[in-house]
């Protein structure tokens, strides 16, 4: 089976991004995608995205950065995709090759007939680069609640409510209302998940919970994450339709010193082999965020990392 390498770009205009429609004569004609194209032999992905966007849209890319890489298997081909953030460019994008283009709000992207690779991409641009996990006990204490309220005043927009005991539904509802007021998503990682709770934006699965399932346990309009510790578990999560994973422990931690860290190279291998967003967890701090993003991961997760 042949492998085709392509480079595509994310052009932003406030809350909108640019997508292009594949011509009817092309493979998957009529579907919408990010602008870009094939990487030529002996050409780097960085040079390819500059050339392709100039040929397709007539723009001159001045600054770009890697957003993520992904791979997709079709019946007769494998597509390796390098996705770039186009930070700065000259000229106004125009469909120079006869293709339709459109500036679309991220929240409206699913209204278009998108290439299969676009769903994972949408998650990667809507999820934040920091994922806070709450302490797993003493939830009703003033100290715990004060820490929760503090995070809502910071730039935290995704929270995992973690608990090893059953929590009062009224208490969860209050937390959810606080999150909504601060444009923050709340995922439940509690011992009694029913996957039909209304006071949340989705759920986070433990590794054992994920391994015990064969299919996605909730609706597609809810957010679903999972904890993994190796590539095999990560690939299963992706096959199940889970929206993002956390891989851990990346480094030695004070809370679990007996756990063998997977290390940066193994974590990057997971990122490169998955299409869905990946958060690094374990021994991480905010100073590791920039390195994590440059390696193509979604960001970092943690209780005390930020």
* Per-residue pLDDT reduced to its tens digit, 137-187: 999 999 999 999 999 999 899 999 999 999 999 999 999 999 999 999 999
Q: Which residue would you say has higher pLDDT here, 199 or 75?
A: 199
Is cis: bond before 249, omega within 30 of 0? yes
> What pLDDT is recorded for position 257?
66
- What's the rounded mean pLDDT across residues 113-127? 83
Please spell the DSSP secondary structure of 201-241, one letter per residue.
Answer: SEEEE-HHHHHT-SS--S-TTSEEEEEESSHHHHHHHHHTT
- What's the rounded mean pLDDT across residues 83-106? 95
> What pLDDT is recorded for position 149?
97
Please spell the DSSP secondary structure of 143-212, one letter per residue.
Answer: HHHHHHHHHHHTT--EEEEE-SS---HHHHHHHHHHHHHTT-EEEEE-TT--S--SSSSEEEE-HHHHHT
Of 40-54, 100-114, 249-263, the one with minimum mean pLDDT is: 249-263
Reported confidence tier of residue 126, pLDDT bands at 50, 70, 90? confident
Reported confidence tier of residue 120, pLDDT bands at 50, 70, 90? confident
Helix (H) or strand (E) segment spanning residue 4: strand 2-10
pTM for this prediction? 0.81
How many of the other CB atoms lie within 10 Å of CB of 62?
11
Reported confidence tier of residue 265, pLDDT bands at 50, 70, 90? very high
* Alpha-carbon span 27 to 29, nearest angstrom: 5
Neighbouring residues of 212: CB distance < 8 A, sequence distance ≥ 6: none
* Alpha-carbon span 306 to 7, nearest angstrom: 33
- Which tens digit of pLDDT belongs to each residue from 214-226? 999 999 889 999 9
Q: Which residue would you say has higher pLDDT here, 117 or 150?
A: 150
pLDDT exceeds 80 at position 106? yes
Percent of the chain's residues with pLDDT above 70: 98
pLDDT exceeds 70 at position 125? yes
> What pLDDT is recorded for position 118?
80
- Which tens digit of pLDDT belongs to each residue from 207-216? 999 999 999 9
Q: Which two tokens stand for residue 290?
A: 């920039």
Q: What is the signed CA dihedral for 293, 251, 143, 207, rounded to 10 degrees?
A: 90
Domains of the chain, each with CATH number or no CATH: 2-117 (3.90.79.10), 130-302 (3.20.20.70)
> What pLDDT is recorded for position 170?
97
């Amino acid at each position: 089976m042949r492998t085709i390498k392509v480079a595509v770009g994310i052009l932003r205009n406030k809350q909108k991004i640019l997508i292009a429609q594949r011509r009817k004569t092309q493979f998957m004609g009529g579907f919408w995608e990010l602008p870009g194209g094939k990487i030529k032999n002996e050409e780097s992905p960085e040079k390819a995205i500059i050339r392709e966007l100039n040929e397709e849209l007539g723009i001159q890319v001045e600054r770009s950065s890697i957003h993520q890489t992904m791979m997709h298997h079709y019946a007769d081909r494998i597509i390796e995709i390098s996705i770039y953030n186009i930070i700065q460019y000259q000229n106004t994008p125009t469909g120079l090759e006869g293709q339709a283009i459109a500036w679309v709000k991220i929240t409206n992207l699913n209204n278009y007939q998108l290439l299969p690779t676009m769903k994972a991409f949408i998650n990667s641009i809507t999820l934040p680069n920091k994922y806070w996990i709450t302490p797993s006990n003493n939830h009703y204490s003033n100290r715990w609640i004060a820490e929760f309220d503090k995070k809502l005043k910071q730039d935290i927009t995704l929270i995992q409510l973690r608990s090893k005991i059953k929590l009062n539904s009224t208490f969860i509802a209050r937390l959810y209302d606080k999150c909504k007021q601060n444009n923050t998503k709340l995922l439940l990682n509690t011992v009694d998940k029913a996957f039909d709770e209304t006071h949340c934006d989705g759920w986070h699965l433990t590794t054992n919970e994920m391994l015990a399932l064969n299919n996605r346990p909730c609706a597609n309009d809810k957010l679903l994450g999972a904890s993994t510790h190796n590539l095999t578990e990560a690939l299963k999560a992706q096959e199940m339709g889970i929206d993002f994973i956390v891989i851990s422990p990346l480094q030695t931690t004070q809370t679990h010193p007996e756990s063998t860290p997977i290390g940066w190279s193994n974590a990057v291998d997971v990122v490169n082999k998955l299409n869905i967003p990946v958060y690094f967890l374990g021994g991480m701090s905010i100073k590791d965020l920039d390195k994590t993003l440059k390696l193509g991961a979604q960001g970092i997760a943690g209780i005390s990392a930020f």
